[in-house]
Amino acid sequence: MNESTSQLIYTLQLADNALILGHRISEWCGHGPVLEQDIALTNTALDHLGQARSFYQHAAEQFNLMPVEVKKQQFVSPALQQKIDKGESLDEDDLAYLRDGWDFRNVLLVEQPNKDWAYTVVRSFFADVFNFYFYKELQKSKDAALAAIAEKSLKEVTYHLRWSSEWMIRLGDGTEESHERMQTALNERWAYSGELFEMSAADKAMAEAGIGVDVATIKPLWDAHVDGILQEATLEKPANKWMQSGGKDGRHSEHLGYILAELQFMQRAYPNMEW
């Protein structure tokens, strides 16, 4: 894998994480427990979507600069292959709507279903703590576009983190029932937290090149932050060490297929439709 391929995959990892988490959160729209939180979550979903767009635009630029032979090796999705064979350039929409599941590089955590409020909060909390420290580091990227996206996103993520941390504490240290539900969600989601710190080939190459972030340096920060909030929330950190993985290599849980079916249907059924 050469450097431009690594950089494309790296950018797509970031884009896919943002898109899929944003989509999952957007599923709460119209279903929030109270009007105010419904709007809060929808705002957050749009933040993630905005980040995803920036990353996809950047990924498309990188892709379009590649030689044709290299382009052909990037994606397995037939719909994208057809475009590439015709010599068309790709844009953010193509990357979001025409790639199949195995071309998606998001971590398994973000595609997990909303279930109830506790599961949703825990998923966001893991991701928000990670993103907070991650974007801080990514601001130093040698890729000016990534650094700029990181700087803009960090402000949004700081608020996301405030929101999810508060719900962790509020419900963890709430009633007996809310505590129990939070602990259950925490225990079940825990196995998806490890993949955030797994280094894919693209991660390693980009960290070495000074473009990406060495996530190993973020792990202790993430642990300390999570420990602090869990303590305040009177929640117990799960003891299990075994972690799920595969998302970064395109091996996903069955949930991603359903997400993409809903997300991509319109563009697949009515190509290039606008509204």
Partner 1 sequence: MNQFINKNLYGDYGDKEQAGGAEGSNHNAAAEWPLWEVFIRSKAGLDHKHVGSLHAADAEMAIENARDVYTRRLEGISIWVVESKYIHASDPATADSMYEPANDKVYRHPTFYNLPDELTHM
d(CA 59, CA 226): 31
42 with 29: CB under 8 angstroms?
yes
Closest distance to partner 1 from the beta carbon of 125 (Å)? 15
Closer Cβ to partner 1, 180 or 227, answer by number: 180
Task: Kindly tell me which residue out of 142, 155, 162, 268 binds partner 1, with binding defined by CB under 8 A.
Answer: 162
Closest distance to partner 1 from the beta carbon of 32 (Å)? 6
Closer Cβ to partner 1, 15 or 121, answer by number: 121
Closer Cβ to partner 1, 31 or 86, answer by number: 31
Pick the piece of the chain touching partner 1 (CB under 8 A) from 26-34, 74-82, 101-109, 141-149.
26-34
Task: Kindly tell me which residue out of 91, 93, 166, 223 binds partner 1, with binding defined by CB under 8 A.
Answer: 166
Mention every residue, 6+ apart, whose C-beta is less than 8 A from residue 238.
186, 187, 190
Closest distance to partner 1 from the beta carbon of 133 (Å)? 22
Pick the piece of the chain touching partner 1 (CB under 8 A) from 12-20, 57-65, 115-123, 234-242.
115-123
Q: Which class for 273: exposed (0-12), middle (13-18), buried (19 or more C-beta within 10 A)?
A: exposed
**Structure token pair of residue 50:** 């905005």
Determine, following the binding rule CB under 8 A, whether residue 116 of this chain makes contact with partner 1.
Answer: yes
Closer Cβ to partner 1, 62 or 120, answer by number: 120
Determine, following the binding rule CB under 8 A, whether residue 115 of this chain makes contact with partner 1.
Answer: yes
Query: Binding string to partner 1 for residues 209 to 238, with x set by CB under 8 A, is what?
Result: ------------------------------
Determine, following the binding rule CB under 8 A, whether residue 170 of this chain makes contact with partner 1.
Answer: yes
Task: Kindly tell me which residue out of 104, 163, 190, 222 binds partner 1, with binding defined by CB under 8 A.
Answer: 163
Give, as ranges, the residues between 30 and 89 that touch partner 1 (CB under 8 A).
30-40, 43
DSSP labels for 24-65? HHHTTTTT-SSHHHHHHHHHHHHHHHHHHHHHHHHHHHHHHT
User: Would you call 270 helix, strand, or coil by DSSP?
Assistant: coil
d(CA 210, CA 111): 29
d(CA 63, CA 75): 11
Q: Which class for 154: exposed (0-12), middle (13-18), buried (19 or more C-beta within 10 A)?
A: middle
- Tell how many helices (H) and how many strands (E) occur in the chain: 12, 0
Enumerate binding residues for partner 1 (CB under 8 A): 30-40, 43, 115-117, 159, 162-163, 166, 170
